[in-house]
Amino acid sequence: MKSLGNKQEMGCREIQMQMEDAPGAVTGARELAELLAALSNAEKEHVTTCAECRAAAENILASRALLDGLPSNADLGGPWFAPRVMAAIAARKAERESAADAFTFLPRLAARLTWASAVALLLASAWLYQRPASTPTNPVITDITGEPIADNATPATNDEVLVSLAEKAR
Amino acid sequence: MARVPKVEPLGLPADSAGGKATGAKAPGTVDDRELVRRAQEEDQAAFEELVRRHQHRVFAVAGGILRRREDVEDIAQQVFVKAYFSLKKFDQRAAFSTWLYKITVNECWDMLRKKKVRPLVYESDLSEEQARQVIASEEKGGGGPDISERLEARQRVENLLEGLDERDRLMLILKEVEGFAVEEIAQVLNLNANTVKVRLFRARRRIINKVRKRGE
């Protein structure tokens, strides 16, 4: 009995799936007879006697009638649409090409900049290497008025040294 | 109501005229694989032909997710531009349409994430654009219920769809509004066809139960 019930259920499901296959829209069935046209005689008879299958068929017809008022979007794109797409593609291509140009220009410029910097670095290092070393100057110590406290000038000759010693002794 | 011209399912030749699929390749038409191969070699005309063939499906899918005309147009253009620049990476193991659907769905989810808005107009009124669409179709159609009634009815349906999971809502719209086959919906959402059928079945039951509860 149980297996018979399952068989019956399987049959119902198959029939309901077959009814879903019936084309919708304009070519679709509006009447039960049209909807069942693709079914075999036994299946048609089943639908008329089985409450579940009949309800499924009625749901298909009712939902079809309900959605009939909705407009199709398929014709929104008229004959102007394809040329508009091609124009958009051309614009995008041009945009991509100009972007690609910018990307190839930068590396080229970078290579030149590298060469210029290398030459500048070479010249700078050569100049630094050849530059004479500078002598540090002695700091001059001054008093509060700004006069030098000690004569930092180194005596040039021996005579000058002796004279300065004599002056000190005096 | 306009429906989406069917493109080649699973890599079969498409009807390039944009009409309904006949299943046979019209004489003189080139299949998608050949067009993709040419486009990969920088043939602009080949890519333009691919755009013409698939734009309706891309608009349908994007419209099913975003529901706002302004967003749908932007995303559709973005999808094709992205496809163009990624085309060299596309190895044609899957159909071009499947690949394109994936880009479309990803772009739409990305847009929603960025905008941090929900895809439908939900509790709010319909946008001016949507109202204009209804008025325009009313003017074309002539008779039938008046504009305010139609706007109200449409708002009610949008509100009902609000309660569904985003994927279930997309499945229902693609199936019933845009006329996609179950296999195509499975491709769009990268799901098994049987999973799509089961989810469609449950989504229908949910909205119909809601309608019954509201006594509509």
- In chain A, residues with a C-beta closer than 8 Å to the C-beta of B184 are none
**Which of A52, A53, A85, A92 should one mutate to test binding to chain B, selecting the residue with the greatest count of B CBs within 10 A?**
A85
Would you place residue B117 in the very low, low, confident or very high pLDDT band (cuts 50, 70, 90)?
low
pTM, two decimal places: 0.67
DSSP chain B: ---PPPPPGGGPPP-TTSS---SSPPTT---HHHHHHHHHTT-HHHHHHHHHHHHHHHHHHHHHHH--HHHHHHHHHHHHHHHHHHGGG--SSS-HHHHHHHHHHHHHHHHHHHHT--SS-TTSPPPHHHHHHHHHHHHHH-SSS-HHHHHHHHHHHHHHHHTS-HHHHHHHIIIIIS---HHHHHHHHT--HHHHHHHHHHHHHHHHHHHHHHT-
DSSP A32-48: HHHHTTTS-HHHHHHHH
Q: Do A74 and B48 touch (CB under 8 A)?
A: no
Among the residue ranges A82-96, B12-26, B116-130, B150-164, the one predicted with the least confidence is B12-26
Q: Do B182 and A83 touch (CB under 8 A)?
A: no
SS3 for A156?
A: coil
**What are the phi and psi torsion angles at A142 (to 5°)?**
-120, 155
ipTM of predicted assembly, 2 dp: 0.72
Q: Nearest-CA residue of chain A relative to B80?
A: A85
Q: Do A26 and B179 touch (CB under 8 A)?
A: yes
Q: What is the pLDDT of residue B131?
A: 59
Q: Do B81 and A89 touch (CB under 8 A)?
A: yes
- For B28-60, the pLDDT digits (tens) are 578 999 999 999 999 999 999 999 999 999 999
B85-122 exposure pattern, b = at least 16 Cβ within 10 A, e = fewer: eebeebeeeebbbbbbbbbbbebbeebbeeeeeebbbe
Q: Do B208 and A59 touch (CB under 8 A)?
A: yes
- In chain A, residues with a C-beta closer than 8 Å to the C-beta of B178 are 25, 72-74
- In chain A, residues with a C-beta closer than 8 Å to the C-beta of B205 are 56, 59
**Ranges of each domain in chain A:** 2-69
**Which of B43, B80, B202, B213 should one mutate to test binding to chain A, selecting the residue with the greatest count of A CBs within 10 A?**
B80
pLDDT(A160) > 90: no
